[in-house]
Amino acid sequence: MRKKLLMIAGSILGLLLLTALALPLFISANTFKPRLETYLSGALGRKVAIGNISLSILTGSISVDRGSVADDPAFSASPFLTAQ
């Protein structure tokens, strides 16, 4: 009986792990890009543009290819901040 419970628990754990590893294949982090840009623009009071967003479950990280924060139009038309 105990051996059977351990096999069931191990199977469930394995299935959860497999699901977590496959999640980035089915869900694109770029679907959150418009919402994130809107939120950051509202928080900073300036237009924010971000590039490709990638998610890594194994390392627990989110990365953005590039980003820029617009400058006040009274000062300059070029971005205030750009990052690669």
Give the CA dihedral 27, 30, 32, 37, nearest 10 degrees.
170
Compute CA distances 62 → 24, 32, 58, 65, whole Å.
Answer: 11, 12, 11, 10
Return the structure tokens found at 47.
């237009």
Q: Please provide residue 36's backbone torsions phi and psi, each rounded to the nearest 5 degrees.
A: -65, -45
Query: What are 7-38's pLDDT values in tens digits?
Result: 999 999 999 988 877 777 777 888 889 999 99
pTM: 0.64
Q: Whose structure tokens read 């990638």?
A: 54
**DSSP at 29:** G
Query: What are 33-57's pLDDT values in tens digits?
Result: 999 999 999 998 888 999 998 877 7
